[in-house]
Amino acid sequence: MIRIANGQGFWGDWLEAPVRLVEQGPIDYLILDYLAEVTMSILQKQKERDPNLGYASDFPPLIGRLKDKLRAGNIKVIANAGGVNPVACARAVLQQAPGFKVAVITGDDVLGRMDEFLAKGCEMRDMDTGEPISTIRSRVLSANAYIGAFPLAEALATGADVVIAGRSTDTALALAPMIHAFGWGPEDWNHLAAGTIAGHIVECGAQCTGGNCQVDWRSIPDMANIGYPIIEAESGGSFVITKHAGTGGRVHSDTVKEQLLYELGDPAHYITPDCVADFTSIRLEDIGPDRVRVSGIRGSQRPPSLKLSISYAAGWKSTGTLVYSSPQALEKAQAADQIVRTRLANLGLRFDEIQTEYFGVNACQGGVAPNVVEPPEVQLRIGVRGEDRKSVDRFTRELIPLVLNGPPGATGFGDGRPAVREIVAYWPALIPREEIQTRVEVIE
């Protein structure tokens, strides 16, 4: 049995979580998930400005903070913190933890190969719309293939203390140590599916230990000190989800079920680079306080293609807010919205979309929200998006004047004019698996 703990559900998660996982009990592997689709484009821009950047900057200082305890406990770290520059990330880790052995996986970043793929006839069509990549080729900001667990397992086989990947799948971080420790092969479909589902359960950190829990959330104990998840994995494919004793939160079949449904399409065909997992085969059993056993998982052959995560520039946006107090809070907010829209039209400004929401009335639940006759306050939020940055910037100057020349009782304008932000859109596509060749490099 090996113990795999996940201390990071996304870049920006609780900084103390990985530290507590290392300090509060025995674990064999610490995995950390940093990347989201849009994150890759941000990191790509950083690398363009400075070739020593392009990775999750929080990661090296964390290793520096934990280095003595990691070494004392013989704990291996696996993270996709490398972003678009895993080698630079490894060098930064070594500055924080001299003497560590760091292995990196490269080959997922294919931004420089887009034209090569097109020349080979790979249209990289949007998986949602069917459009070919040629329609946005000039605006592409980043392009990365989702790699699976076997390159990470290969990196662990080097004896590395820290393994750094770029755009691996979230589930691969947990599956890789099982492949490494148990010797699972590339066609052990049931085992690979079990490891994949284990990774899926813990990939969002404390979301499976009571965080963001919809089932009787008031009863979740001590959320200020919530424990992050640990997989107790067995060579036969069964595993237990748990957390360190004495920590807050709860591990129960209900919390695990909620996480299992997260970002799930066809439950019988959960597709990853390593296998296709069948979520309908999962069997859950509460075997003790904060212990859920997962078994019976089946899997099938991996797909012939890998998914590309492509981002591209898609115009500009800005969103501003004002708060109106009662009486007539909603009526005031609606009047302010109409004033802004009229003034934008009078200026001849055109946008791809103007969207208005009324927080305190219907912003979160839309038309199914209960009728609020007289809300005590309403936050008006207006946003625009379009291709012309000057038009979007002009919009930012139309909201704050309402404080003096619009309906009475406006507040919440202390931040001044809203910012103009670039829109980064997501383009999912497929590429033949054989086009992606990964490489493991040890940095010492």
CATH 3.30.70 domain extents, the chain:
310-427
How many CB atoms sit inside 10 A of residue 289's CB? 10
Q: Residue 40 has what pLDDT?
A: 87
Helix axes of 59-73 and 16-23: crossing angle, nearest 10 degrees: 0
Largest distance between two CA atoms of the chain: 71
Averaged over 18-40, what is the pLDDT? Answer: 93
What is the model's pLDDT at position 444? 83
Report CA torsion sign: 348, 351, 353, 357.
negative
DSSP 95-148: HHSTT--EEEEE--B-GGGHHHHHHTT-----TTT---GGGTGGGEEEEEEPB-
Q: Which CATH architecture describes the domain 310-427?
A: 2-Layer Sandwich (3.30)
pLDDT of residue 377: 96
pLDDT value for 182 = 98
pLDDT surpasses 90 at 365: no
223 near 242, Cβ under 8 Å? Answer: no
Question: Is the per-residue pLDDT at 45 higher than 90?
Answer: no
Q: How confident is the model at residue 216 (pLDDT cuts 50, 70, 90)?
A: confident
Residue type, 396: T
Whether the pLDDT of residue 60 is over 90: the answer is yes
List the one residue out of 112, 93, 281, 134 whose CA is nearest residue 194: 281
Question: If pLDDT is split at 50, 70 and 90, which confidence band does 265 have?
Answer: very high
| pLDDT score recorded for residue 223 | 96
Q: Which residues contact 72 (CB under 8 A, 6 or more apart)?
A: none
Query: Structure pTM?
Result: 0.94
Helix, strand or coil, per DSSP, at residue 350: coil
- pLDDT band with cut points at 50, 70 and 90 for residue 371: confident
- Given a cut of 90, whether residue 411 has pLDDT beyond it is yes
* pLDDT value for 92: 97
Task: Give mean pLDDT, residues 212-231.
Answer: 94
C-alpha distance from residue 75 to each of 26, 70, 168, 362, 367 (Å): 9, 5, 21, 48, 50
Q: 1, 233 in Cβ contact below 8 A?
A: yes
Single-letter code of the amino acid located at 365: Q
What does the pLDDT read at residue 37? 77
